[in-house]
Structure 1
Amino acid sequence: MKKGFMLSLVLAMITTIFAGCAKSNEAGSGGSGNATSSASTSTQSETKSSEKPQKVRVSLWDRSNSPDGTKITDSIIVKWLQEKALKDENLEVEYVTLPRSQETDKLNVWMASGGAPDIVITYNAGLVYQYAEQGGIWELDDLLDQYGPDIKKLVQPALDVAGTYKGVRYAIPALRMNQSGGPSMKIRQDWLDKLGMQAPTTLDELYTVLKAFKEKDPGGVGKENVVPWALPTINQSAKAFFFGPMWGAGVNSGPGLVDLYMPQGNLVDGQFHSAIDTPEGKEFFAFMNKLYKEGLISKEFVTDVNSQKFTQQMTTGQAGFVDSNEDPYIMTTNTRKSVPEAKWVTVMPFKRKDGTQYMDKTGAQGLLNMIPKSTKNPEAAVRYLNFLAKNISVVQSGFEDVHYKVDDGLRIPIDPDKNAKEIGWYLSDLNLLTQGYMGSPTKEQLLKLDPDPEYAELMAPFYEQFQKYGGSGPGIDSPRPVAQEKSVNLTKYAYEALSKAVIASDFEKEWTKTLDGWIKLGGREYDQEITEKLAEIRNR
């Protein structure tokens, strides 16, 4: 198995073992648990067994990714969960699958027909707001308090930030265990070393470094081939973005055009302004226009719509700086196939004019669990999720001593290849309550995961940046009619107009056209709606 792939599997299977977690709850070995249950527990079990089981239908995504054709509903973990839920909770669990690619369409059909499973899932908060507004899903505050104590213990950080509509809970969000993920800046350390330079800490320093890359060709690829900053077209198929540099210019995160791969805008005196309509946004794109004219970003910037040129520049060692989702270890591994001495390292967030440093980290919330009003026993649905919380290790990592062993608080896969084939392709879809399995690994944990000290050297700063500087912009928990009407056209326009501004011969003239077009398409009405929604939240 290739090393990078193995490490990704290892990281996907490990988690910190929580202190005080009972062995019976871990269910790690697939055994019967604690044999010395109290008399009250025995009485409770006898009472449950004498009652007719409550049936719970749970929706799961079918990604059609089984390596051997096994259906997710026939998997070993599903069968274990069904048997365990019936024995311990008197719940008869049926799993109902829907194709991942048809999530929204299928869910809308289910909800309209009244035939939805008792637990339905989505990543789309807008659907939660829509169904809540229509009265199509259960309010969950009281149900969660009564039947979900283990849910609350497990996912409280996610509950704090997601799943409510106008202050009332309508969804139970999964918790992202590791929030150290997302776009970040990386640079070729081997190029810096040859030039005797340090990684940039501001946009001005970035310009100086990029200029040196171009003029001195530290990679020896030929001055005409050097790509100081590799950057594809601004669109959803892109593999690189504007986040880090634009945060450095003073543009912040917020509930703006989420389809744009860049910071969304600034809140000034209570008024939200999308990035395209801010002084900081204009200043940043003037900077990008300067870089383009001087050959410091990819000359194929506008036409590289599928990131093909970008990928080539990375893998052949022509590129010196990027802002992307890939981590520095994977990038180093890929580039070393062509350039053995290549070394990509993390660039910490740039200092802004006020001295602050900021970057986004992945939100605490993930998947959203809803209970349709067609569900006759919503308490049973919450009880199932609470059962899942009590047995969370199984849907995170499989069975202890079968799929993993515990080493110094880490779950280390026994056989990653076997796990990938047997459980890895579906565990994340059964796990409705957590995404990821541990927080950001420490340097000591990274060394345990891979004896190669360079792995920890490259990855420790990558995780550190999210912990030290990561944050998230304000959220909105209600429908946005103006956004629903205008965001598609505004996003498409922004892609095209901002690209033209970057390559314009007369930036000031082009920027005037860019802002005028934004305003005519309803950009300021879009921003005003965000302003009003944020005010509603503050005034509750």
Structure 2
Amino acid sequence: MLNRTSSKLAALMSLLMAGSVVAGCTTDKPSVEKEKPGTETTAKQTDWSKVKDSSELPEWKGKQLSLRYWDAHGTGNIKRISPTQDVVNSEIKRVTGVEFDKNTSFDNGGESLDAKLAKVVAAKDYPDIASGIGGDTMAKLAASGAIYELTDLLPKYAPDIYKGLPKEKLPGLWNGPNIVSQQDGKIYGVPISTSSVWSSILYPDTPNIMNLGALPSKYGFLYVRDDILKQLYPNVKSNKEIEELYIKNGGKFSKEELFDVPIKNKDDFYTFLKKIKDLNVKEDGKPVSPFYAATGGDNWNLMTIFGGHLFGRINGNGPDTNYFTYFDKKTNKMEYMFKQTSFIDELKFYNKLVRDGLASKESLIDNASAFNQKRDSGQYAVLMQTNAPDSAALKKAGKTYEYRKVWMDIVPDTSRFLLTTGSAQGGGNSFIIFKDKVKPEDVPQILQYFNYLWTEAGKKVVMWGPKSAGLFTEENGVRKFKDVDLENEMVYSKNTAAESKRSYYNLEQPNVMTFRPSIIVNNFDPRVTYPPVLNPTNAGFKFDPIFQLKDAAADRTTSIDPSFYNFSTIDAIKKFTTKRTNFELALTKILTAANDTDFDKLYADFLKVAEESGMTDAGLKDMDTYYREVLNKEYMKNIK
């Protein structure tokens, strides 16, 4: 999901630009180079890359830093945990002297970035560090002097990060707005979280790691309640039967077994939902909705991820062909997706689902908390792949059914749509450091903290804990968890204990606030490094074309993705980032149309809002020129 800004932010940021809001801010470069990053008893950063386990590193004897962290991605409301035995953060603090303050750190709390930032600026309630802030917002923060410039400091104090992400292989990383301000080309963000697109480039000899983040597969999937599936297709496997088949087949699945529910196009999907509705299933006395049209935020999940798969536009996380801007290989230019006849047909399809009672009308007004509650209590029969159910919550509630993957046998149209390596920057993240809160002499220590997490020792500690914690055995370099429940959860993504062992020790947990950076794709992840074992709990993970079919991976073009957030210097996009909320609301409203005439009116109203928001023909022309001549100049030759 992309960051969003509003008109309120524009006014607030103008104060930032004038230097009247951020106390003590200056555009002068911080004189941190002369400061020592720690004491002489602290391990040198050049030594960290040689260490195999964190327990081998000495204790940090320098200054102790407790950082207030803001997770600004999306609308927030992410799950927090209170580990009983936090073996990870305690080890990170031991080695680096840095920790996140879990009592004062925060997310967006159900609000958009612009709304939360407005409150932060108005109250002068700044964090020490933040992630999830990119594009024009980062550029304005940089220009105002609110955040530290890291161009010279990143390679000096975080050399493993800087060297580990080669510019020539990851164009979207270094040219994208999540790290580099396109106003001056300088680095302001620390890239610590990576997507699976990056992983396929960084770790070409470990192909299975590509599956651990956003899927670079041709195919998309749905989560469907297996008890409902059984009523529709008695011969289709339940989740438990998939586990049994996995063992029987020796860890393999055929294409017929993977694509066992017939969804080859939108009509198949509609028929599928209609059959579910006709069952009249109830859950806790309430009717179960076959599907939904919104998740309490913007339209990204429906119109980029799910819709992109169903209509053959995208794969993976889909920044290349979202509902804003894209590069059309047939017209050979930048286009607005929301103006395409094919996309209007998609909107009509979503609206038909709502009108026919196949997608919940209430979802269009539910906030994120309401959606999550319904998702995790079985109120939706079918979930999008970006809305994985909380299996532990279902189990705790005594539910006997599970949600299993149902793959859609639909591949993206690469003759028209561009799938780029540059979309890696959209799937990654970076951290910015606020001058108002962090002293210049503390910046090197914070950068060394991030660098530690990028090394082998750091990556291992978030997945396994340090050796001193005693959670695993190691023989000939091969690790195995001692606790079977922990093994099932970390290796096979299956909760077998009443309470999460992963949470108990605070091992790496996507989509959970663990008060440290989340390394989305980690080449020391147990799911990659674990000895091959035919454990039934591994079945759901391996029930995936990327592991089973030779032609499952989608071809990508080495280019920067043409998404609107890569055009933060264009006037039209500067305006749009402050008006996006209006755009999203008008787009969602189209799905409430009562009939075709109403649809046409609401779509016409939406186009006016899009125009007023900055999405103009002139702006599109400017983006096309900028994409060809500046942003993607080096890679245009690859687009064929």
Using the size of structure 1 for normalisation, the TM-score is 0.65
Aligned to 2:631, which of 534, 537, 540? Answer: 537
Q: 1:313-462 residue pairs with structure 2 within 5 A? A: 315=377, 319=381, 321-327=382-388, 330=391, 337-338=398-399, 340=401, 344-348=404-408, 350-351=410-411, 363-370=426-433, 372=435, 375=440, 382-390=447-455, 391-392=457-458, 393-395=460-462, 397-406=464-473, 409=478, 412=481, 414=483, 420-421=503-504, 423=506, 431-432=516-517, 434-435=519-520, 437-438=522-523, 445=530, 451=535, 453=536, 455-461=537-543
1:508–1:336 distance in 2 versus 1, CA, 3 Å: same
| 1:206 lines up with 2:269 in the alignment | yes
**Which digits, 9 at most, give the CA deviation of each residue in 1:113-156, with x for residues without a partner?**
9x996xx3332014432233235555434433444332235555
Q: C-alpha separation between the residues in 2 aligned to 1:313 and 1:59? A: 33
| 1:194 lines up with 2:202 in the alignment | no
| 1:140 lines up with 2:150 in the alignment | yes
| 1:499 lines up with 2:591 in the alignment | yes
Measured on the aligned residues, the alpha-carbon RMSD in Å equals: 5.5
Aligned to 2:297, which of 236, 249, 259? Answer: 236
> Partner of 1:124 in structure 2?
133
1:227–1:272 distance in 2 versus 1, CA, 3 Å: farther
> Does the 8 A contact of 2:193 with 2:519 survive in 1?
yes
Specify the code of the residue in structure 2 equivalent to 1:168: K
> Partner of 1:61 in structure 2?
69
Q: 1:132-281 residue pairs with structure 2 within 5 A? A: 132-154=142-164, 159-160=173-174, 162-166=178-182, 167-176=185-194, 180-181=213-214, 184-187=221-224, 188=226, 189-191=229-231, 193-194=233-234, 198-214=261-277, 217=279, 229-233=290-294, 235-236=296-297, 241-242=302-303, 243-251=305-313, 253-254=318-319, 263-268=323-328, 269=331, 272-281=334-343
1:255–1:145 distance in 2 versus 1, CA, 3 Å: same
Aligned-pair CA distance for 1:363? 4.5
1:273–1:67 distance in 2 versus 1, CA, 3 Å: same
> Partner of 1:25 in structure 2?
51
1:289–1:22 distance in 2 versus 1, CA, 3 Å: closer
Query: How many residues were matched structurally?
Result: 471
Q: C-alpha separation between the residues in 1 aligned to 2:529 and 2:465? A: 24
Moved more, 407-416 or 135-144: 407-416
Q: C-alpha separation between the residues in 1 aligned to 2:93 and 2:414? A: 57
> Partner of 2:350 in structure 1?
288
1:198–1:255 distance in 2 versus 1, CA, 3 Å: closer
Q: C-alpha separation between the residues in 2 aligned to 1:288 and 1:429? A: 36
1:485–1:61 distance in 2 versus 1, CA, 3 Å: closer
Match of 1:434, SS?
A: coil
> Partner of 1:513 in structure 2?
604
Match of 2:193, SS?
A: strand
Moved more, 189-198 or 162-171: 189-198
Q: C-alpha separation between the residues in 2 aligned to 1:425 and 1:352? A: 32
Q: C-alpha separation between the residues in 1 aligned to 2:428 and 2:371? A: 34
Aligned-pair CA distance for 1:173? 1.1
Aligned-pair CA distance for 1:80? 1.4
Aligned-pair CA distance for 1:438? 4.7
Structure 2, unpaired ranges of 5+: 1-46, 72-78, 109-115, 197-211, 237-259, 487-499, 635-640
**Which digits, 9 at most, give the CA deviation of each residue in 1:290-312, with x for residues without a partner?**
44454443465545556858965
Aligned-pair CA distance for 1:482? 0.8
Aligned-pair CA distance for 1:401? 4.6
**Which digits, 9 at most, give the CA deviation of each residue in 1:175-233, with x for residues without a partner?**
33665248952345434533887331222332343344455x4x8779xx986841154
Aligned to 1:76, which of 90, 97, 104? Answer: 90
Specify the code of the residue in structure 2 equivalent to 1:180: G
1:129–1:439 distance in 2 versus 1, CA, 3 Å: farther
Q: C-alpha separation between the residues in 1 aligned to 2:562 and 2:308? A: 18
Specify the code of the residue in structure 2 equivalent to 1:434: I
Q: C-alpha separation between the residues in 2 aligned to 1:296 and 1:489? A: 26
Specify the code of the residue in structure 1 equivalent to 2:181: Y
1:531–1:438 distance in 2 versus 1, CA, 3 Å: same
Structure 1, unpaired ranges of 5+: 1-20, 34-48, 86-92, 257-261
Match of 2:466, SS?
A: coil
Moved more, 55-64 or 242-251: 55-64
Q: C-alpha separation between the residues in 1 aligned to 2:613 and 2:596? A: 27
> Does the 8 A contact of 2:92 with 2:99 survive in 1?
no
Aligned-pair CA distance for 1:29? 3.9
Moved more, 355-364 or 262-271: 355-364
> Partner of 1:464 in structure 2?
546
| 1:99 lines up with 2:105 in the alignment | yes
**Which digits, 9 at most, give the CA deviation of each residue in 1:5-36, with x for residues without a partner?**
xxxxxxxxxxxxxxxx9897244446769xxx
Specify the code of the residue in structure 2 equivalent to 1:123: G
Specify the code of the residue in structure 2 equivalent to 1:80: R
> Does the 8 A contact of 1:211 with 1:296 survive in 2?
yes
Q: C-alpha separation between the residues in 2 aligned to 1:500 and 1:279? A: 19
Aligned-residue identity in percent? 14
Match of 1:25, SS?
A: coil
